[in-house]
Amino acid sequence: QLQLQESGPGLGKPSETLSLTCTVSGGSISSSSYYWGWIRRPPGKGLEWIGSIFYSGSTYYNPSLDSRVSMSVDTSKNQFSLKLSSLTVADTAVYYCARHVRYHNHPNWFDPWGQGTLVTVSS
Protein backbone atom coordinates (compact mmCIF):
# COMPACT_ATOMS: atom_id res chain seq x y z
CA GLN A 1 0.00 0.00 0.00
CA LEU A 2 1.53 3.26 -1.11
CA GLN A 3 2.09 5.85 1.61
CA LEU A 4 3.38 9.41 1.49
CA GLN A 5 4.78 11.41 4.39
CA GLU A 6 5.59 15.11 4.42
CA SER A 7 8.46 16.49 6.48
CA GLY A 8 9.95 19.90 7.09
CA PRO A 9 9.89 22.87 9.44
CA GLY A 10 6.50 23.96 10.70
CA LEU A 11 7.45 27.60 11.01
CA GLY A 12 8.85 30.08 8.51
CA LYS A 13 9.55 33.80 8.48
CA PRO A 14 8.38 36.32 5.88
CA SER A 15 10.78 36.62 2.92
CA GLU A 16 12.41 33.26 3.72
CA THR A 17 12.25 30.03 1.71
CA LEU A 18 10.14 27.04 2.75
CA SER A 19 11.57 23.57 2.09
CA LEU A 20 9.42 20.44 2.38
CA THR A 21 10.14 16.83 1.49
CA CYS A 22 7.74 13.99 0.72
CA THR A 23 8.92 10.42 1.30
CA VAL A 24 7.15 7.72 -0.69
CA SER A 25 6.97 4.17 0.69
CA GLY A 26 5.32 1.02 -0.60
CA GLY A 27 6.02 1.86 -4.24
CA SER A 28 8.58 3.40 -6.57
CA ILE A 29 8.65 7.07 -7.37
CA SER A 30 10.23 6.12 -10.72
CA SER A 31 7.00 4.74 -12.21
CA SER A 32 6.00 6.18 -15.58
CA SER A 33 2.35 6.01 -14.52
CA TYR A 34 2.52 8.87 -12.05
CA TYR A 35 3.57 12.40 -11.39
CA TRP A 36 4.02 13.58 -7.78
CA GLY A 37 2.29 16.69 -6.55
CA TRP A 38 2.04 19.31 -3.81
CA ILE A 39 -1.29 20.82 -2.77
CA ARG A 40 -2.04 23.21 0.09
CA ARG A 41 -5.05 24.31 2.11
CA PRO A 42 -4.85 27.73 3.81
CA PRO A 43 -6.87 28.03 7.03
CA GLY A 44 -10.57 28.45 6.27
CA LYS A 45 -10.03 28.10 2.52
CA GLY A 46 -10.11 25.41 -0.14
CA LEU A 47 -7.43 23.31 -1.80
CA GLU A 48 -4.83 24.88 -4.10
CA TRP A 49 -2.59 22.85 -6.41
CA ILE A 50 1.04 24.05 -6.19
CA GLY A 51 2.94 21.89 -8.64
CA SER A 52 3.72 18.39 -9.89
CA ILE A 53 6.93 16.59 -10.90
CA PHE A 54 7.76 13.45 -12.92
CA TYR A 55 10.59 11.15 -11.86
CA SER A 56 12.63 12.47 -14.80
CA GLY A 57 12.40 15.99 -13.36
CA SER A 58 9.74 17.35 -15.71
CA THR A 59 7.51 19.81 -13.85
CA TYR A 60 4.21 21.66 -13.95
CA TYR A 61 3.75 24.66 -11.65
CA ASN A 62 0.70 26.73 -10.73
CA PRO A 63 1.09 29.95 -12.76
CA SER A 64 0.10 32.02 -9.71
CA LEU A 65 3.09 30.61 -7.79
CA ASP A 66 5.44 29.85 -10.68
CA SER A 67 8.02 32.55 -9.90
CA ARG A 68 8.42 31.31 -6.31
CA VAL A 69 8.16 27.52 -6.68
CA SER A 70 10.81 24.92 -7.34
CA MET A 71 10.40 21.15 -7.15
CA SER A 72 12.97 18.36 -7.33
CA VAL A 73 13.05 14.58 -7.14
CA ASP A 74 15.56 12.15 -5.61
CA THR A 75 14.84 8.69 -7.01
CA SER A 76 17.58 7.08 -4.90
CA LYS A 77 15.73 8.10 -1.74
CA ASN A 78 12.21 7.76 -3.20
CA GLN A 79 11.58 11.40 -2.27
CA PHE A 80 10.45 14.61 -3.92
CA SER A 81 10.74 18.12 -2.56
CA LEU A 82 9.19 21.58 -2.68
CA LYS A 83 10.84 24.94 -2.25
CA LEU A 84 8.68 28.06 -1.96
CA SER A 85 10.56 31.35 -1.77
CA SER A 86 9.69 34.87 -0.61
CA LEU A 87 7.24 33.62 1.98
CA THR A 88 4.36 35.80 3.20
CA VAL A 89 1.70 35.16 5.84
CA ALA A 90 -0.61 34.17 2.97
CA ASP A 91 1.51 31.04 2.52
CA THR A 92 0.38 29.74 5.93
CA ALA A 93 -1.37 26.46 5.13
CA VAL A 94 -1.44 22.72 5.54
CA TYR A 95 0.79 21.34 2.79
CA TYR A 96 0.01 17.93 1.31
CA CYS A 97 1.97 15.73 -1.03
CA ALA A 98 0.10 13.30 -3.26
CA ARG A 99 0.53 10.89 -6.13
CA HIS A 100 -0.72 12.53 -9.34
CA VAL A 101 -2.17 9.74 -11.43
CA ARG A 102 -1.23 9.78 -15.10
CA TYR A 103 -3.88 8.66 -17.60
CA HIS A 104 -3.82 9.13 -21.36
CA ASN A 105 -0.30 10.49 -20.94
CA HIS A 106 -1.07 13.38 -18.69
CA PRO A 107 -1.60 13.84 -14.94
CA ASN A 108 -5.22 13.75 -13.79
CA TRP A 109 -6.44 13.09 -10.24
CA PHE A 110 -4.54 12.81 -6.95
CA ASP A 111 -4.46 9.52 -5.03
CA PRO A 112 -3.35 8.82 -2.36
CA TRP A 113 -2.41 11.85 -0.24
CA GLY A 114 -0.04 12.30 2.66
CA GLN A 115 -1.38 13.35 6.05
CA GLY A 116 -0.25 16.94 5.57
CA THR A 117 2.02 19.25 7.49
CA LEU A 118 1.08 22.64 8.90
CA VAL A 119 3.37 25.49 7.91
CA THR A 120 2.92 28.81 9.69
CA VAL A 121 4.58 31.94 8.34
CA SER A 122 5.11 34.52 11.04
CA SER A 123 7.74 37.02 12.08
Partner 1 sequence: DIQMTQSPSSLSASVGDRVTITCRASQGINNYLAWYQQKPGKAPKLLIYAASTLQSGVPSRFGGSGSGTDFTLTISSLQPEDVATYYCQNYNNALTWTFGQGTKVEIK
Residues within the interface to partner 1 (CB under 8 A): 37, 39, 45-49, 52, 60, 62-63, 96, 98, 101, 106-116
CB of 71 to partner 1, least distance (A): 14
- Please, what is the minimum distance in Å from the beta carbon of residue 35 to partner 1? 10
Check residue 37 and report its DSSP letter.
Answer: E
* Cβ closest to partner 1, residue 12 vs residue 114: 114
Q: How far is CA 74 from the centre of its chain?
A: 14
Q: Which is nearer to partner 1, 76 or 105 (CB)?
A: 105
Residue 99 per-residue DSSP state: E
30 CB burial (10 A radius; 0-12, 13-18, 19+): middle
